[in-house]
Amino acid sequence: MPDVTVSITFDLISPFKNNQNYQFFEGVVNISATATNEKKVYSVVGQEELGAFPLLTKEEAGQAIEKAKQAQKYWEEEEVYKRAEILHAWADKLLENQAQIGDMIMKEVGKNKSSAWKEVARTADLIRYTAEEGCRIHGDLLRGDSFKGGSSNKIAMAERAPRGVILAISPFNYPVNLAASKIAPALISGNAVIFKPASQGTLSGKLMIDALLETELPADVVHCVTGKGSEIGDYLVTHPDISMITFTGSTEVGQSISEKAKMIPVVLELGGKDPAIVLKNADLDLAASQIVSGAFSYSGQRCTAIKRVLVDNAVADELTSKIKKKVDELTVGNPEEEAAVTPLIDEKAADFVQGLIDDALENGASLVTGNQREENLIYPTLLDNVTPGMKVAYEEPFGPVLPIIRVSDEADFVELANESEYGLQASIFTNNVQTAMNIGSKLNVGSVQLNAKTERGPDHFPFIGSKNSGLGAQGIRRSIESMTRDKLFIMNV
């Protein structure tokens, strides 16, 4: 190592350092923008008018991107600890407004009240961890003489640099949490954000952004861009000033984004068909309670919901009866009254789920319980003797229907589990860890859960989907990594 002392002084052009008030960029940051058209949002239950959001034109969306691009230049120069302080302040504001935001989530996407309020608290925790994790992102220092023929005069300092403007597209089912899980890592690592919420979920997302704008976040670093996907979707995805896209939603849209986004990184969290594999030596009470919670919470409208049960024939009757008992105990109805199973997001979603149930019954599946419908409310439905050829065995319902597939040969578990276009997660229920490891190692999924339901959290765990379930990885640290790139400063001394 050469004997060298380096002293570098950075001349930061920072709004914070200059103690100015971020009046660099004209225009508004929030979603009121200048749009003339708007779309009204109604509650899932009761069709109460909750508010409206503007339908931006391409030109208006383009203006937001331009402002974000300019603001990012200042934001990336801000000290990381200051960015972290802003994120902590955001988390504080979210908790201060937990009731208002939680109630909006409950009404706008039909999630029961306690889950909706928990989503806000979980998001505050996620933001805080992200702020702290961002302060612990370090680069590398590499010596040139550790490579044959390299030079001892060279030292490379590799840092993680922000990518620029991140396009964050969030789904309806976690309108706050799955938005913040994209926005917070982008911000802590010095990026600006164009946030495109799902239409049903926009008002909850807006309240979350309002909380962020109450902090010292400089103007224009985050823009909430709302509108019809058909009008501005492709425009956003293909815009030359978007440096990276992070999306959660359907596989169909995810695939389209991945095809259209050229030469920029894309992280996708898409659909799933997570199996619960129940072996004959499993604790069946534990399996039944985890399966019911995993399959039916938020009415199955989760990418990580358990969407099929593969059970050893030897214990299938017993497991089915335990699952049925628990399904019959689920409360059904209004999110405000804490029902476990609530109406689906819209009629199209309910029609789709009903179609899967009808198809299975027409093709020989046995109805164990459920198959009742009141408008968009589908009662939790359990189907037994489902065979791999039935649609409900391989399509993602995103609703409260659970097929049971009986397996007579243990060797078939892996093949059946992998017989899916999806590869998000899988659960294995057994009292034999070695067997679980053997099966788990052969499953083509992002994560395997032993003796527990499939789920994303805790939110600092890597969250990965293989096959049509996703691309890249999320989870707080992985998200920060995906939103930054290596940048080298090579000292030649």
Q: Which residues are catalytic?
A: 269, 303
The answer to whether 83 contacts ligand G3H (rule: CB under 6 A) is: no
Least separation in angstroms between CB 459 and ligand G3H: 8
**Interface segment toward ligand G3H; rule CB under 6 A; list 34-42, 77-85, 369-377, 454-462:** 454-462
CB 83 within 8 A of CB 188: yes
Does 276 sit near ligand G3H (CB under 6 A)? no
Sign of the alpha-carbon dihedral angle for 279, 285, 288, 291: negative
Task: Report the alpha-carbon distance of residue 167 to residue 164 in Å, rounded.
Answer: 10
CB of 274 or CB of 384, closer to ligand G3H: 274
**Cβ(475)–Cβ(461) below 8 Å:** yes
Instruction: Answer yes or no whether residue 458 interacts with ligand G3H by CB under 6 A.
Output: no
Region of 108-116, 318-326, 336-344, 450-458 interacting with ligand G3H (CB under 6 A): 450-458
| Residue 483 CB contacts under 8 Å (≥ 6 apart), including other chains | 162, 163, 166, 185, 186, 189, 191, 244, 246
Considering only the stretches 84-92, 111-119, 378-386, 452-460, report the one whose residues sit in contact with ligand G3H under the rule CB under 6 A.
Answer: 452-460
Helices (H), 297-346: 313-329
Q: Which is nearer to ligand G3H, 364 or 457 (CB)?
A: 457
The footprint of ligand G3H on residues 284-323 (CB under 6 A) is: 302-304
- Give 274's strand partners: 306
Comparison of 126 and 356: residue with beta carbon closer to ligand G3H? 126
CA–CA distances in Å: residue 246 to residues 154, 193, 255, 267, 419: 36, 11, 12, 5, 27
Least Cβ distance, residue 302 to ligand G3H (angstroms): 4
By beta-carbon proximity to ligand G3H, the closer residue of 74 and 298 is 298
C-alpha span between 58 and 296 (Å, rounded): 39
In the complex, what is the shortest distance from the CB of residue 489 to ligand G3H, in angstroms, rounded to a whole number? 37
DSSP letters, 155-214, are EEEEEEEE-SEEEEE--SSSTTHHHHHHHHHHHHTT-EEEEE--STTHHHHHHHHHHHHT
Q: Of the two residues 173 and 482, which places its CB atom closer to ligand G3H in the complex?
A: 173
* Residue 457 binds ligand G3H (CB under 6 A): yes
Minimum distance from residue 72 beta carbon to ligand G3H (Å): 27
Nearest residue (CB) to ligand G3H, 303 versus 316: 303
Q: Do the beta carbons of residue 120 and residue 205 sit within 8 Å?
A: no
- DSSP helix/strand/coil, 275: strand
What is the per-residue binding string for ligand G3H in 88-127, x denoting contact by CB under 6 A?
----------------------------------------
- By CB under 6 A, name the one of 173, 251, 371, 420 that touches ligand G3H: 173
Distance between CA atoms of residues 51 and 119, nearest Å: 21
Q: Which is nearer to ligand G3H, 406 or 456 (CB)?
A: 456
Per CB under 6 A, contacts with ligand G3H among 250-269 are 269
Concatenate the DSSP letters of all residues of 10-22 into one string. -----TTTTT--S
Which pair of tokens denotes residue 225?
């861009």
Q: Please name the amino acid found at residue 401.
A: V
> Using CB under 6 A, which of the segments 14-22, 80-88, 193-201, 455-463 binds ligand G3H?
455-463
Quick one: 76 or 269, whose CB is closer to ligand G3H?
Answer: 269
- The CB-of-432 to ligand G3H minimum distance in angstroms stands at 26
Residue type, 22: Y
Q: Residue from 455, 464, 471, 482 that binds ligand G3H (CB under 6 A)? A: 455
Please report where in the chains the tokens 């001349």 appear, as a residue: 11
- Residue 456 interacting with ligand G3H (CB under 6 A): yes
The minimum distance between CB 28 and ligand G3H, in angstroms, equals 31
Nearer to ligand G3H, 75 or 247 (CB): 247
Q: How far is the CB of 455 from ligand G3H (least distance, A)?
A: 4
Q: Which helix (H) or strand (E) holds 246?
A: strand 244-248
Stretch that binds ligand G3H, among 141-149, 251-259, 434-442, 451-459 (CB under 6 A): 451-459
Q: Select from 394, 438, 441, 446 the least CA-distant residue to 416.
A: 394
Neighbour tally for 408: CB within 10 Å: 10
> Rounded to the nearest whole angstrom, what is the least distance from the CB of residue 18 to ligand G3H in the complex?
40
Q: Quote the least distance from Cβ 269 to ligand G3H, whole Å.
A: 6
448 touches ligand G3H (CB under 6 A) = no
Q: 58-88: buried (b, 16+ CB within 10 Å) or exposed (e) per residue?
A: eebbbbbbbbbbbbbebbbbbeeeebbebbb
Q: What is the DSSP string of 105-139?
A: HHHHH---HHHHHHHHHHHHHHHHHHHHHHHT---
# of chain residues touching ligand G3H (CB under 6 A): 9
The residues binding ligand G3H (CB under 6 A) are 173-174, 269, 302-304, 455-457
